[in-house]
C-alpha cells in the first residue's frame, strides 16, 4: 500500500534555530501533501497544503514566513520551522491523498524547542 516516510521522528533544537521536516511518498506520486500539527490532547489541525510546482496554501492563523513549505518533486515535500520558539513545540504530521479516498500519514515528527 501507499507509504509516506517522514523524517526525523523527533528533534530537539535550540530556540532561534530552524528545523526541516521531510515527507517522501515511497511508492506513489503525491502531487498534494497536507501538513498537520497536534498539540497535547488536541486534535490534528491542518496547517497548510503543499502542491508540487506551486506555492503552498496556508490555513488561517498559520504564519507563512515561519513555516516554509516546499514541494520540490512528486515524491518530496518539506516543512521548515524557521526561528523556532518553545511554543512551536508540537507533533507535526504530513499526509498525502491515497487510493480510495484514504489519506496516508507519515509517522510524525515530535519537535521540542528548548
Partner 1 sequence: DQQVKQNSPSLSVQEGRISILNCDYTNSMFDYFLWYKKYPAEGPTFLISISSIKDKNEDGRFTVFLNKSAKHLSLHIVPSQPGDSAVYFCAARGGADGLTFGKGTHLIIQP
State the residues that interact with partner 1 by CB under 8 A.
Answer: 4, 6, 9-10, 32, 34, 36, 41-46, 49, 91, 93, 95, 100-108, 110
Report d(CA 95, CA 77) in Å as an integer. 10
Smallest gap from Cβ 103 to partner 1, in A, equals 6
Residue 87 CB, nearest distance to partner 1 (Å)? Answer: 20
Return the number of the residue (6 or 75) whose C-beta is nearest partner 1: 6
What letter does residue 87 receive in the DSSP assignment?
A: G
Nearer to partner 1, 31 or 70 (CB): 31
8 A C-beta contact, residue 3 and residue 103: no
Picking from 94, 77, 90, 97, the residue whose alpha carbon sits closest to that of residue 40 is: 90
Amino acid at each position: 500500500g501507499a507509504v509516506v516516510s517522514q523524517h526525523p521522528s523527533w528533534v530537539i533544537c535550540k530556540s532561534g534555530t530552524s528545523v526541516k521536516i521531510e515527507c517522501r511518498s515511497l511508492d506513489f506520486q503525491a502531487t498534494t501533501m497536507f501538513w498537520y500539527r497536534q498539540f497535547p490532547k488536541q486534535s490534528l489541525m491542518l496547517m497548510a497544503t503543499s502542491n508540487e510546482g506551486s506555492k503552498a496554501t496556508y490555513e488561517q492563523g498559520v504564519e507563512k514566513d515561519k513555516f516554509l513549505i516546499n514541494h520540490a518533486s512528486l515524491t518530496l515535500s518539506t516543512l521548515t520551522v524557521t526561528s523556532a520558539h518553545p511554543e512551536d513545540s508540537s507533533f507535526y504530521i504530513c499526509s498525502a491523498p491515497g487510493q480510495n479516498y484514504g489519506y496516508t500519514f507519515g509517522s510524525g515528527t515530535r519537535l521540542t524547542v528548548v
